[in-house]
Structure 1
Amino acid sequence: MAIDNGSELRQRSGNGKANGNGAPIAVTDEGRKMDEKLDQHTTYEFGGPWGVFAMMTGFPLLMYYLWACLWFYDGQLAHPKSVDDIKPFLLEMWAHIRDDASPNAYAWKVYSGNIVYQLILGQLLPGFQQEGLPVPSLGYKTLMYNCNALGSEYVTIVTAAVLHYTGIFRLTDIIDNYGHIMSVSMIWGFAVSFGMYFYAVATNQQIRMSGNFFYDVFMGAILNPRIGKIDLKMWAEVRVPWLIVFFLSVSGACKQYDTLGYVTPNMAFMVLATWFYYNACCKGEDCIPQTWDMFHEKWGFMVIFWNFSGVPFTYVYSVVYMASHDPSKYQFSTPTYVVLYTTLITAYWIFDSAMAQKSHFKMQQQGITEFRSAFPQVPWHTVKNPTYIQTAHGNRLLTSGWWAYSRKPNYVADWTMSFTWGAVIGFATPIPYFYSVFFITVLVHRTSRDFERCHMKYGKDWEQYCSVVKSKFIPGIY
């Protein structure tokens, strides 16, 4: 199938924007000039070419190291005891990777089979049609998105249940072959990243290029590649990482049940937590076209590798640990479980409702007033009569709902959930906390990128917004 970067485009009056009453909100001449400036490569990020090269090589090595520590060193951070032990230690690590994380035929079948199945479901299942935001680099045209991730989610769950109970494919095999499947995921991540770069250049669809090969592969060269009805960037953001994260947790629960005869509250917590996130992405898929990821962030290694490999194989280290260790190492008291579950549910509610409030507000600016309803619909997902700051650019900045208290309330809730994913095993091993430590670094850096861009784009209007919504993350603290 051919990849099309410009299929299903729509040009709307007023440059694609409308207010809540359906009247067009035009991008001003000043806004157009600023958008043109933002659509040019001006500065290097992430330490430039050498920085991104270090991340492209270093992160896969870190993934192998942390996996080996969980699998073979009782979850402790293994290291050579002396200078003389460095070579034997490295050889031992290599032996573990060679023998227990080889990209064998079984791993290729499982991982690639899932990718193909999700592409088929994405192409064939009916979905909710959602219009995205106007894209400056496409002349303020809008893309239509076929949002059928929710249907794909439940078809996949039913398919997995049938395969498991018939014995055709036991879900416990996923966690048992964790290392092998992880290696295949890395190969997919690299192959798609480099493949999309060369495709973009060959078809002259590259934008915002720096001229440095590794930097442009890392940041991406193409904006919205598509195969038929599927927007690959949105498809990969939802259908690959969070599906795998959820099924790794289910696999861990199945492993515990086969081994112990029951599932611990800790493992059940991870099944619930990962389903919350997976289902939230699927049911809220129609909100994703309104995000910066879709209309501005290019599809490069930074996003591709993270979706194909980084997220699914670094975020659920607690599951890997629990599936291979005695529950006595991480058991809690009943009050602790109550606090843990309550924190997760509360954070999820804030995360879900904050994301919905922002996306629904943006949809209202396009004249969309009726929103998709999917389970579970949390309270306060839409702000009635929202307040906002009108910018000279033509956009409006929301100052109602959760967004009246913080410029990034979704990030605060998102990070809180990530912390519980590590806290679920207590202090048995530090490795599951990698997710929350890494994630806060990503969020702070992403916030700085976002705020810098907003300051350039909106100028004094952004300063006014910051004076109204004073806190970046936690009200009164930061």
Structure 2
Amino acid sequence: MPSRKFADGEVVRGRWPGSSLYYEVEILSHDSKSQLYTVKYKDGTELELKESDIKVSAPSAHRACSYEVGGLNCPIGGTQTTRESVQVALPLPRPLPLPGRPAKSSRRSASASHHVDIKEMRKEVLEVKLTPLVLTPFGNSINRHNGEPEQRGSPSSERGTTCRTGARSYCGSILYDKEEQFPLSQESSYTYTQHSLRPRREESKFKKIDLEEEKIVTKGPTSLRTFEVTATQTKDLEFGGVPGALLIMLGLPALLFLLLLLCRQREPGLLHFPPPLPALSDLWEAIVFGAYLLWFSVQALFYSLPIGKVVEGTPLADGRRLQYRLNGFYAFILTSAAVGAALSWGVELCYVYHHFLQFALAALVFAAGLSVYLYVRALRAPRGDLSPASSGNAIYDFFIGRELNPRIGTFDLKYFCELRPGLIGWVVINLVMLLAEMKLQNRAAPSLAMILVNSFQLLYVVDALWNEEAVLTTMDITHDGFGFMLAFGDLVWVPFVYSLQAFYLVLHPNHLSWPLAALIVALKLCGYVIFRCANAQKNAFRKNPADPKLAHLKTIHTSTGKNLLVSGWWGFVRHPNYLGDLIMALAWSLPCGFQHALPYFYVVYFTVLLVHREARDERQCRRKYGVAWDQYCQRVPYRILPYVY
């Protein structure tokens, strides 16, 4: 059975039966048997139309277009400022009379003739008014049309300003493509003619009118012909804008070292706060920095090996798909073999524990240096390669990342850092803490609490590397640039904060009974099942929505041509994978006991992180799916935790 193209509530243009004219209509319903759409015209008339008689309101050109001397000028819109020229704004002709069309009628099929008052239309078209081009502010998230969010494909559904000239419409101001959240490149430039209200036999007459319009403009004063306006586009910056970015870049490194210093205390608490700060000279060791560079280089070498399958990422703005080699799991196996060989050769891995602060500082310095390199190279990057999140502000772009996919040849820097040095390093650090606990506490075997922490987090990392392809559709890859935020998060925050439970247990052992351990394992497995099954269902639906195994799932059709799952795990809450993540985070912390709040910092932090990310997801999904997303929210009211949030 063929799938429907237009969603309920979508505002499109429908052909009036018996004519070649298209008018704005709203989709009311769709009959799957007859393949007819019930539409409603502005005057209240309801008709049944075929899909071939319906068109989107206006294709989006994502361009800032204006009239200049000699014809059309469509410059690429930038992320911060856009140059605009004098524009000819001509009033749109009045709607044409439709004989036989009553003011209000019930659903019917009709045939009507039309009559065009050429003199009246010519008079209106030739009324020329010079006005500067006005761009829609960059940060507007929802366009309004008749009080409702507009659908993708409507004249302003891509958040651009529509400038009407007669029966021709041009779109101004680019933001980013809502389907994949990528900036547009110069290759996507084009102009177009909107659905015309004129019969085809009269088009030649109006071409002459267009030529006369150009003559009128070119005869105007020279100052008007050369006048240009520079308009600054504003954009809703996330993370608190520039002040928030500065606070994060300065505050998170300080918080990291505060947590590590507290964990090193025998009795961490308010009575011993703040912990004694070591001298800066004690934190920096060249040999430690060299060891970190060696670790990063080895992981880069494993990434470059020609093993593992090659897949294509999501489409870029110009239609290209970058290729990625999926060999993260193989890199993990090779790293495990290298660590095992080092242990057999007598290498003292506890050196990492005794110099943990120095390794954290080395990773921080490397991440900061990498961020500087990324920002400088992004200054020469084409506009089409920039991240949708970039703003044009130097501080904010240094934080969020200016370039979307920085590559050295085929080596993708962001994709490599996302899963390799930090994530695999996290597992190695946990192993180091296990060995340090045995050595410092004179144990022949690691404690049950340490075994559970290592096992839980090992399963999480192995699952991420095994399902490496899933990261290609995340916001980190498709939307955010590669700057300090991701460089610090991937290379510093993940390995040195996510291993906090294991680091804590080295000096603060916790006796764990077997019944309590069994309950913690059950909680971990529950969270993992929710996390993995929800992600597996989503990925399978994205790859092949027509899969017979998914036939039992209910969906909502959207104006993008895609469907939203409203049953299964995604009918339970809107983000079931986040719920599973939070349950697993709690299971990681419980083996540390309740003597101190330090091991539960990760749970608190991860809750804030996922709630913030869920809010970002909600905003982008509402922009992308419009009315369909509102319907989904009504069907699935809870975001993460059922009956709570």
**CA offsets, 1:42-78, max 9 Å, x none?**
2122111111101101111111111111113533356
Amino acid at match of 1:211: G
Amino acid at match of 1:350: I
User: Among 323, 344, 350, which residue is 1:172 paired with?
Assistant: 350
- Taking structure 1 as reference, are residues 78 and 293 closer, same or farther at Cα in structure 2, changes over 3 Å only? farther
User: Among 525, 530, 537, which residue is 1:345 paired with?
Assistant: 525
- In the alignment, what sits opposite 2:480? 297
Give 1:165 shift: 1.4
The 5-angstrom pairing of residues 146-161 of structure 1 reads 146-161=325-340
- In the alignment, what sits opposite 2:40? none
**CA offsets, 1:64-112, max 9 Å, x none?**
11111111353335656xxxxxxxx68x4143x542xx23123213322
Give 1:319 shift: 0.8
The 5-angstrom pairing of residues 255-404 of structure 1 reads 255-258=436-439, 259-325=442-508, 327=509, 330-364=510-544, 383=550, 386-404=553-571
Give 1:262 shift: 0.9
- 1:290, 1:362 within 8 Å by CA — same for their partners in 2? no
Secondary structure in structure 1 of the residue aligned to 2:335: helix
TM-score normalized by the length of structure 2? 0.62
Secondary structure in structure 2 of the residue aligned to 1:245: helix
Give 1:353 shift: 2.1
Separation in 1, partners of 2:622, 2:519? 39
**CA offsets, 1:237-277, max 9 Å, x none?**
11122212111111111223333111111111111112111
Separation in 2, partners of 1:78, 1:214? 38
Greater CA drift, 257-266 or 435-444? 257-266
- 1:149, 1:238 within 8 Å by CA — same for their partners in 2? yes
1:236 aligns with 2:420: no
User: Among 199, 203, 210, which residue is 2:381 paired with?
Assistant: 203
Identity of aligned residues (%): 28
Separation in 2, partners of 1:211, 1:123? 33
1:223 aligns with 2:347: no
- In the alignment, what sits opposite 2:120? none
- Taking structure 1 as reference, are residues 388 and 144 closer, same or farther at Cα in structure 2, changes over 3 Å only? farther
Give 1:170 shift: 2.8
Separation in 2, partners of 1:78, 1:52? 32
Query: Unaligned regions of 5+ residues in structure 1, if any?
Result: 1-25, 81-88, 371-381
User: Among 287, 303, 307, which residue is 1:126 paired with?
Assistant: 307
Query: Unaligned regions of 5+ residues in structure 2, if any?
Result: 1-55, 61-150, 160-173, 178-182, 184-233
- In the alignment, what sits opposite 2:572? 405
- In the alignment, what sits opposite 2:102? none
Separation in 2, partners of 1:93, 1:401? 51
Give 1:300 shift: 1.8
Amino acid at match of 1:262: A
Secondary structure in structure 2 of the residue aligned to 1:402: helix
Separation in 2, partners of 1:421, 1:47? 30
- Taking structure 1 as reference, are residues 323 and 352 closer, same or farther at Cα in structure 2, changes over 3 Å only? same
Separation in 1, partners of 2:438, 2:251? 36
Highest CA radius of gyration, 1 or 2?
Answer: 2
Separation in 2, partners of 1:123, 1:361? 31
Give 1:194 shift: 2.1
- 1:314, 1:434 within 8 Å by CA — same for their partners in 2? no
Which of structures 1 and 2 has the larger relative contact order (alpha carbons within 8 angstroms, sep 6+)? 1
Amino acid at match of 1:349: V
Amino acid at match of 2:318: G
Separation in 1, partners of 2:270, 2:537? 41
- In the alignment, what sits opposite 1:17? none
TM-score normalized by the length of structure 1? 0.82
